[in-house]
Amino acid sequence: MSSFVKVDSVYLATQNEHKIVEFDGFLRPFGLNVLPLPAGIAKCPENGVTFEANVMEKASYYAQYCDGFVLADDSGICVDALGGKPGVHSARFAGPDGTDEDMRSELLRQLESIEARMRSAQMVSVVSLWSRSFPVGIVARGEIEGMILDHPRGAHGFGYDPLFFVPSLGKTLSEIPTHEKNRISHRAKALSSLVNTLEKLGMI
């Protein structure tokens, strides 16, 4: 990508309104406006076996239908006692139609016999920025360490946030307000890395 190309808005490759709000809250201070995908686009199949493969597939796929840059993210929870599962399958851990509550219930079911001290996990987020006008994309990764509780806690956040306890905070990701989560979360780390790359390239 040429350093003179400026990015002022990105289409976010998701139908999840929570993510749109969260990404916009993080990126707007850097002059990036987050837009929803145009209506009527068939969902990307997401065949990748890693977070990186998935985001590159999603970003390049949706970029075909968008006049501008597309930002894709793939995030999930990797539980050590489950061999890294659910990983890239986090959003479909309870089946294609599973709700957030279903996913949390399934995770707790699989961890029933695992004692608390063995429930270490990582929240992982990988993001990719792509435009059909350019042959190269940008990929960035962020992670945070934590433990899986045996019951949900907190009213903020979504997905696995109520179960993910961060020892350094003494709270789950759902027990901290959005503005604080936007500073320390796995997604915040990935986006910070992306912004840093864009600044170095003179794109923002």
Active-site residue 74, yes or no? yes
Q: At what angle do helices 186-200 and 17-27 cross, to 10 degrees?
A: 50
DSSP 79-139: EGGGTT-BGGGGGGTT-TT--HHHHHHHHHHHTTTS-GGG-EEEEEEEEEEEETT-S--EE
d(C-alpha 192, C-alpha 68), whole Å: 21
DSSP 18-55: HHHHHHHHHHGGGT-EEEEPPTTPPPP----SSHHHHH
In angstroms, the first-to-last Cα distance of the chain is 13
Q: Are 66 and 37 in contact (CB under 8 A)?
A: yes
For residue 107, report the phi and psi dihedrals to the nearest 5 degrees. Answer: -65, -45
Q: Kindly name the residue from 8, 67, 73, 74 that is annotated as catalytic.
A: 74
Radius of gyration over every alpha carbon of the chain, rounded to an integer in angstroms: 17
Tokens standing for 40? 């009527």
Query: Within 13 Å and on the Cβ side, how many CA atoms surround 115?
Result: 1
Active centre residues (catalytic): 74
